[in-house]
Copies of this chain bind each other. A is one copy, B any other.
């Protein structure tokens, strides 16, 4: 929730926050926990690019991206994106753009652990 404080200020009228949590099932199969691996230096650069693109496209005041790594249990917060703007449309659009682009470009890998094995998400067609 520190992410929310970091984007709020007297000139902001709307803050949109996306919180991605660890779901207990994927395609109907029970997930025990997740593991996130990252190429940290490159991930930060890619996140920086997303933020720069968001600031260029929308009148955004502040944008925070926070992503956990390592082992996460069901229900834990994996990612938080908080965007503040004077008006809510910019906050909504920039927040959604940020999570969508993060999922496409930022080098972070999620492994789902099941009772009978594990799968790197999206690895295979």
Contacts and interface: CB of A to CB of B under 8 A. Distances in A.
Interface string A26-46: 000000000000000000000
A8 B75 contact: yes
A13 B20 contact: yes
Query: Would you call the interface of chain A mostly helix, strand, loop, or mixed?
Result: mixed
Copies of this protein, total: 2
Contact of A20 (B88, B95, B99): B88
Interface of A: 1, 4, 8-25, 74-75, 86, 88, 91-92, 95-96, 99
Given A11-B25, A13-B20, 16 more contacts: A4-B19, A8-B19, A8-B75, A10-B74, A12-B23, A13-B23, A14-B19, A14-B20, A14-B21, A16-B18, A18-B88, A18-B91, A23-B86, A88-B99, A92-B92, A92-B95
